[in-house]
Structure 1
Amino acid sequence: MILLLTRSLDPTADMVVRALGEAGTPVVRMDPGDLPRCVEMSGWFERGTWRGRLTTGHREVDLAEVTAVYNRRPNLPQAGVPGMRPEDAEWASNECYEGLYGVLYALDALWLNRPDRNRTASLKPLQLSTAHSSGLCVPTTLITNSPEDAKGFVTEERSVIKTLRGVPRRDADDAPGRPLIVYTWEVPPQEVDGTVALALCQFQRRIVPQYEVRVIAVGAQLFGARIDSPSGREGEVTDWRAYQRTDRISYTPLDVPDGVRDGVRAYLAAFGLLYGAFDFMVDADGQWWFLEANANGQFAFVEYGTGYPIARAVAGLLTQGVRAAGHVMTRPR
């Protein structure tokens, strides 16, 4: 039994659900954000193991039958009810999170990937040092809230500025809402000012790409997609994501060099992950430069653009369950 944790609107999860159905693998989909309103859980700890059930509006899951958990894009539990004080609602929501994930982590199940490992792997400075120690090439980077150091860095050599994590959630009228999209952009020295002091900022040497690459890693399988866009040209946005859903970008299958392949696998092992979406730039000399990795990154556009059977690969890995877990078991067997 596969337990899929994600929100109701998740096209990538939909692809995996279809692939699991084609393979005849049972799957139950739920959003932890529905706990406790629409999800009920009871877990008993006896003789060293957990047993119990999860009940959604449509299905009941016997926890003993869960062999793998696919952690996609779940919402956080929301325990507030009308009339409850905000601090009490926050406390109750945290209790739901601790109880749910505490029990699920304790199951003898494969995770793709555990949320706590995803969170650690999302730390960009740690990503860079881990990538380097895994044998991948990484651009020189500065993280600072010193305007003086930032100006000195971008004056020495052409550089870009990148977000460290996430983006503000804001609608067009500046009210809280959907996440904004903040692209990587080249920053000239004259644009570095005192606002750098307001938060830690990430500056990185600019790599002018011949092309860019998204590598999707599913267990031992790697799917490389070459990305061609105007991002490396003068006067264009230095982020290929700005050209998505236009006719100025293309995705084609690409073999991943052995050295990069080994580095990606070492990187996953270092974080205890089974899945990752890796971004590289390939310069005019053919050198692959690691930019970042998203432990829960999208793969749908890669599958659609290249024809790679990535959803089937994810479904296959989940179907193998504990037999494929190896070093990423959630607890000793």
Structure 2
Amino acid sequence: MRDSRSVLVLTNPYDVTANVVLRQLAVRRVPVVRLDPGTDLHMDASLTATYHMGEQRGALRTASREIETGGIRSVWVRRPSPYEGPQRLSGQDRRFAAEQALWGTGGILASLPNAHYINHPWNNRAAEYKARQLSAAQGCGFLVPTTVITNDPVEAREFVARQPGGAVYKPLWNTHYRVDDQPHSVWVEEVHADEITDAVSVCPHLFQSRVDKAFDARVTAVGDRLFGVRIDSPDLDWRYRQDRMTCTPVEVPESVTCAVRSYLSELLLIYGAFDFAVTAAGDWYFLECNPNGQWAWQPEEITAAIAHALADQLEKGPDT
């Protein structure tokens, strides 16, 4: 089957969040191709790109679809599997295949002519750096907790000791970690100066002044549309025990709305999941923005509205 003006969704086969949007597109009769490039191209899919005499052409073939890549209207970069190479290979052969796929397949899929990306994968990657987030947030008008990123134990201890309301530690990246061979997540935790050892010198660490918050807030942005949720949790990091948190819709202040839109423009993003700590006085402190954060865990009406907004973006394609 050959489709034109298709939406390309790059994600793994277990991504149920993507299904919420795909159902919206199906109702609208928008043709969709779902691809997990890190695995599908080792099986029954193929991708070709040709560059000749100022022209770029290409074809993507899956078990059920064949599309011309120049006709793809939108690309949703959701949660594709990493490029790890075919399982039938091992050692340096598998590493070689994985790296060639990253730079070849990844390059083609990030360079489709006239496609509308949510978000472009290179913009996603740039926006994932915590230091970049903090710098952009300050420039866009957000309130930002005082923060230091350092591998100097002395600097870290002195910083933490100076924070009158206490300090927290946050990982700079969600690195896969195991304890006793069991998956282990590193959560945001309160930290005291006397707990900081010289092990800090091994790599950069992020320490931040603790916000005396009344509640947390998540603002999901899709283009110009913002969806706010108040999160009440007994934990410092609400992600730790999500079964104990409650979520209710919340109005986003105009100052935060303006800063969110400025931030998206600055980092060239269409989508962003912003996390805030909100004080009893009503001050919204920027904590981070995940350019590809999950959103289907929110109240049903908010989840449905976000899915509708994403479907609108994917259906419309590039601005003309």
TM-score (norm 2): 0.92
Amino acid at match of 1:267: Y
Deviation, 1:63, is 1.2
Return 5+ residue gaps in structure 1 as ranges: 232-237, 325-333
Letter in 2 for 1:262: C
- Counting only pairs closer than 5 Å after superposition, residues 177-196 of structure 1 correspond to structure 2 as 180-196=184-200
Map 1:145-184; keep pairs closer than 5 Å.
145-157=151-163, 158-170=166-178, 173-174=180-181, 180-184=184-188
Give me the whole-angstrom Cα distance separating, in 2, the residues matched to 1:38 and 1:266. 42
Distance 1:306 1:68, change over 3 A: closer
Give the Cα separation in 2 of the matches to 1:287 and 1:242.
24
Please show how residues 197-208 of structure 1 align to structure 2 within 5 Å: 197-208=201-212
Q: Contact 2:172 / 2:206 at 8 angstroms: preserved in 1?
A: yes
Give the Å deviation of 1:27.
0.7
CA offset at residue 185 of structure 1? 0.8
1:59 aligns to what? 65
Matched residue type, 2:168: V
Distance 2:29 2:112 in 1: 26
Distance in 2, Cα, partners of 1:60 & 1:316: 24
Give the aligned partner of residue 30 of structure 1.
Answer: 35
User: Structure 1 CA distance, aligned partners of 2:292 and 2:169?
Assistant: 23
Q: 1:244, CA displacement in angstroms?
A: 0.4
Within the candidate set 89, 107, 112, 2:113 is matched to 107
Once the 2 structures are TM-superposed, how far is the Cα of residue 117 of structure 1 from its aligned partner? Answer: 0.9
Does 1:71 pair with 2:77?
yes
Partners of 1:112 and 1:273 within 8 A in 2: yes
> Which residue is 2:292 aligned to?
296
Identity over aligned pairs, percent: 39
Contact 1:80 1:90 survives alignment (8 Å): no
User: Which piece of structure 1 moves more, 65-74 or 47-56?
Assistant: 47-56
> Residues 259-317 of structure 1: CA distance to partner in whole angstroms, max 9, x if unpaired?
11111111111111100000001112111100000000011012437455111110111
What CA deviation, in whole Å up to 9, does each residue of 1:102-153 have, x standing for no partner? Answer: 2231421000011111111000011001001001110110111111111111
Aligned length: 311
Alignment of 1:125 onto 2:125: no
What do you get for the CA RMSD once the two structures are aligned?
1.8
Contact 2:297 2:303 in 1 (8 A): no
Q: Which residue of 2 aligns with 1:97?
A: 102
Partner residue, 1:235: none
Match of 1:285 among 270, 275, 281: 281
- Deviation for aligned residue 1:47: 4.0
Segment drifting more, 59-68 vs 267-276: 59-68
- 1:183–1:239 CA contact under 8 A, matched in 2: yes
The alpha carbon displacement at 1:92 in A equals: 2.1
Instruction: From the superposition, tell whether residues 169 and 107 of structure 1 become closer, same or farther in structure 2 (CA, over 3 Å).
Output: farther
The residue type equivalent to 1:129 in the other structure is S
Deviation at 1:88, TM superposition (A): 2.9
Bigger fraction of residues in strand: 2
1:312 maps onto 2:305 in alignment? no
> 1:15 is matched with which residue?
20
Shift of 1:257: 1.0
> Any idea what the Cα deviations from partners look like across 1:209-265, whole Å, max 9, x if unmatched?
11110000001100011111123xxxxxx111123023xx21111111111111111
Cα pair distance change 1:281/1:81, threshold 3 Å: closer
Map of 1:220 onto structure 2: 224
Q: Distance in 2 between matches of 1:304 and 1:285?
A: 29
CA–CA distance in 2 between the matches of 1:192 and 1:304?
A: 42
